[in-house]
A and B are shown apart, each in its own frame.
Chain A
Amino acid sequence: MLETKRETQKEETADRTDPLVEAPPPQQPPPEEFLQLRVSERADCLFHEQQLQIYKRTDRWFAFLMMAQWAAGILTALLISPRAWEGTQYSVHPHVWIAVFLGAAISSIPIAFGLTMPGKAITRHTIAIGQMLTSALLIHLTGGRIETHFHVFGSLALLSFYRDWRVLVTASTIVGADHLLRGIYFPQSVYGVDTIEPFRWLEHAGWVAFEDAFLIRSNIESIKEMKNIAQRQALLELTNEIVEATVRDRTAELVQRAEELEHLNARLVESERELARSNKELEEFAYVASHDLQEPLRKISSFSDRLQSVASQVLDDEAKDYLKRMQDAAQRMRAMIDALLNLSRVGRGERDLGPVDLRKLTEDIVSDLKSNLSACKARVEISDLPVVYGDPIELRQLFVNLIGNSLKFRHKDVEPVISIFTDKPNQGASALDSARNSMHRICVRDNGIGFDSEHKEKIFAIFQRLHGRGQYEGSGIGLALCKKIAQSYGGNITAEGAPGDGATFTVTLPRNGRSEGNK
């Protein structure tokens, strides 16, 4: 039975000490109502905080004021009535003792409460009573001077610093009670006459009430203003909190993104490094393989030539056909290996870098290919071309391949026309255009058979052919070589065309002549 009671008590204690833990989970209100509730409650909290600060501050002020008043009372008694006389004999005037002891009695509790319990209601009401009693004491000590009565009105004004109208009511009640009781028991001390009208005290209290009316109104207005300010501050705090939370979330998001980006960058750099290493290995392999393939190929070729010269008499026609096919294949393979070697050499060996006048370069090429051009009645139109920075041999190879490509894929019944010109982008447009402005764009356009635009990437791939070997000769490396040369200078090459409508190859090379490719 006893244990059950103890358990019940324990549960009750737990309920009192930690109501938050035991409280049932409430239903979540809608967001707007929730925010309003939160602002309202926070405003209430801020208002009470401010009010408590005012109470505490004013309590301390009054504690020190009452000390000063006590001292002033003693000083007043010593100055005005230091001695009581009987003829030529004197003693300390009772006013001095009254100022010391009654002053101490009046001030002690308000001072003690003001210093040790600031902010409590009992403190400010005790101070209000003490202040009014001090007024009465000072009036006595100054012989009832009318000027000292202003201490009452001044004290009421000071008490209004609490912004608590109840304090004014307490103080005024003390004044009224003082006049009422003294009017009844010691009328001479207040009104100077033995008999007075029954409600004379109301006249005195009325003037106090007159001042109270304004002070109380002022207090009420002040409280309203404080509540408004608290409401605004709560709203501001909530707004700040929301902004801070948003910023916090966004910052965390940004940090996460930055980390992801950094991770991706690291992976990209690693991939690039891996790719470069792989490319280098591949190129070295291609070079070594091509170089080493030449030796057995030369043997195949030379021994097939020897076989033809030695055994041509004894071989029948079928064998001779086989032999010729073998020789053709060996020759084609040599051409392919040569092309492959050329391709792999790009960017590997020493370059003779310098300014290259592309107009002069292309004119020299046309001059060298004069017989070929004449054979197919081809015409090459060369407009103003820029001077670029590069190796003349590689650039020559590039344009030879492009012109050769145009001649190769011409219409049989149409005289080929090849135009070489610079494509100048429009003045100042987009950022893309400004990027283009940093590059020379040299176009090689022909009126040949063209190609389907879906193959515009494929034609630059190594050993890729759009036509059968029987239709057009070639190793399938020419355009790949062009692309590699252009890219080795930080440029590129693209192709546009349509079947039967010619093709345009655009070579881009850097204007400043410097790029990673030609370092």
Chain B
Amino acid sequence: MSEHKRRNQESVAAEDIDDLLSTNMGKPPSDIDALVRQRAREATRDAPRSVNTDAHERSWARYLPVAAVLLVTVGVTLQLQRPERVAEAPLDVVADVAEVEDSAVVAAAPAEPIVLAEQAGKRSRQAVVARELASSAAVSMDARQGGAASPDALLEARVMKVLSSLQDDEAEQAVALARELREAYPGVDLIELIPVDTEDELRAAFEQLMTDLE
């Protein structure tokens, strides 16, 4: 049996058909890639901007990790406020949530802020994006924690993730992004939970959230 034939049989027997399927495909044509990127730039330049931003002062790439963290933050908070979660939670968690609902934190954040914003005719693409991503991120985090994490555990995970991920320069980015998100959520006080001035305020706000749940 030739080496070539033996190798083929081994790869199939090892249930690894990825290589056979993916090899010999070559690379994407660079000339078309250049054409596509050029076309995208022309289309972007020709289209009116839907968001008024100081693009020259920021780079979207620097915002990505912070954006993900903040969207998780919003998502978990929304999950905490969903009535069905309370209904499904153990009794002790229900009691905790009931206390939280009386707190100033929740008072500052309407139970269904996005719905209210939409009803007020202020729905924007950004709001829809943030809502869907936040929901997806929250479900993902829930799943990673076994699918039955309590609201407290989710919040703690969220806070620890935010605090551990923020460096000094990232905090500044978070501040800028928070401002953008706040603009994207017209009339939604939820974003006020994310401080917008200094890193110290950011940390203090999350610590306050933890205190409110204790």
Q: Tell me, yes or no, whether A binds B.
A: no
Q: Write the residues of chain A forming the contact surface with B, with a CB cutoff of 8 angstroms.
A: none
